[in-house]
């Protein structure tokens, strides 16, 4: 919606292209490294292509993920030795990307996330546990606490339907275009 309105560049993660993802959900210990390595290289290629091919007519780029997602999931899914190796590779790739002007995290409670996962209908996601989702959320929150160089908005959208309610979308757009100081800002949108 924002891309259409502002004619900006848009990066959407291509998770369906990862052939290891269904295997990872069946045998996480066996396929964690390959699934995370595939995600990292795909995200890197996507972001690199966007930086190289920026449109002169677009003022900014939005993405449905930040490259740090790569490291947060790897830390959750990999063993200690694999993570150390993975982190070394990540650090090489990450040096090529500018830091965001603002990072926006749309937070939903676990129950709402599970409803959305079921609605999405991907068979291999049906066994994702509440505990796993909570651990992923905790990894993000831990990361956000240490950001001091750019603003991070944590917006609780559990009860918001900005796709179908124009007022919700306008309010959300207002919130994300305001000026913020670096650091974490928590915003709860209630209907």
pLDDT for the residue numbered 56: 59
Does the pLDDT of residue 41 top 90, yes or no? Answer: yes
Overall number of domains in the chain: 2
Domain boundary among 55, 78, 98: 98
| Higher local confidence (pLDDT), 176 or 185 | 185
Residues of the domain holding 90: 1-98
| Higher local confidence (pLDDT), 86 or 176 | 86
One domain for residues 78 and 104: no
Domain boundary among 68, 98, 128: 98
One domain for residues 32 and 85: yes
Distance CA 93, CA 115 (A): 34
| Higher local confidence (pLDDT), 81 or 4 | 81
One domain for residues 139 and 76: no
pLDDT for the residue numbered 53: 75
Give the rounded percent of residues in the chain with a pLDDT score beyond 70: 96
Domain boundary among 98, 125, 143: 98
DSSP string of 97-124?
Answer: SPPPS-EEEEE--HHHHHHHHHHHT-GG
pLDDT for the residue numbered 154: 95
Say what the alpha-carbon torsion angle 55, 12, 28, 145 is, to the nearest 10 degrees: 80
One domain for residues 24 and 60: yes
Q: What is the CATH number of the domain that holds 92?
A: 3.40.50.300
DSSP string of 73-91?
Answer: HHHHHS-HHHHHHHHHHHH
Residues 6+ apart with CB under 8 A from 16: none
* SS3 state at 80: helix
One domain for residues 184 and 92: no
What are 105-155's pLDDT values in tens digits? 999 999 999 998 999 888 888 889 999 999 999 999 999 999 999 999 999
One domain for residues 141 and 170: yes
Mean pLDDT, residues 31-59: 86
One domain for residues 121 and 190: yes
One domain for residues 68 and 112: no
């Amino acid at each position: 919606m924002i891309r259409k309105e502002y004619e900006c560049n848009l990066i959407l993660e291509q998770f369906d292209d990862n052939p290891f993802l269904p295997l990872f959900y069946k045998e996480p210990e066996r396929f964690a490294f390959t699934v995370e390595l595939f995600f990292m290289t795909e995200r890197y290629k996507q972001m690199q292509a966007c930086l190289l091919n920026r449109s002169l007519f677009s003022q900014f780029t939005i993405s449905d993920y930040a490259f740090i997602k790569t490291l947060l999931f790897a830390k959750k899914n990999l063993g200690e030795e694999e993570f150390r190796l993975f982190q070394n590779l990540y650090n090489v790739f990450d040096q090529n990307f500018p830091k965001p002007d603002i990072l926006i995290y749309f937070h939903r409670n676990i129950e709402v996330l599970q409803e959305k996962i079921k609605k999405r209908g991907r068979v291999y996601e049906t066994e994702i546990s509440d505990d796993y989702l909570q651990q992923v959320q905790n990894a993000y929150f831990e990361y956000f606490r240490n950001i001091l160089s750019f603003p991070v908005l944590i917006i609780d959208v559990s009860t918001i339907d900005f796709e179908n309610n124009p007022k919700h979308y306008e309010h959300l757009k207002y919130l994300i275009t305001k000026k913020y100081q670096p650091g974490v800002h928590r915003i709860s949108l209630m209907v």
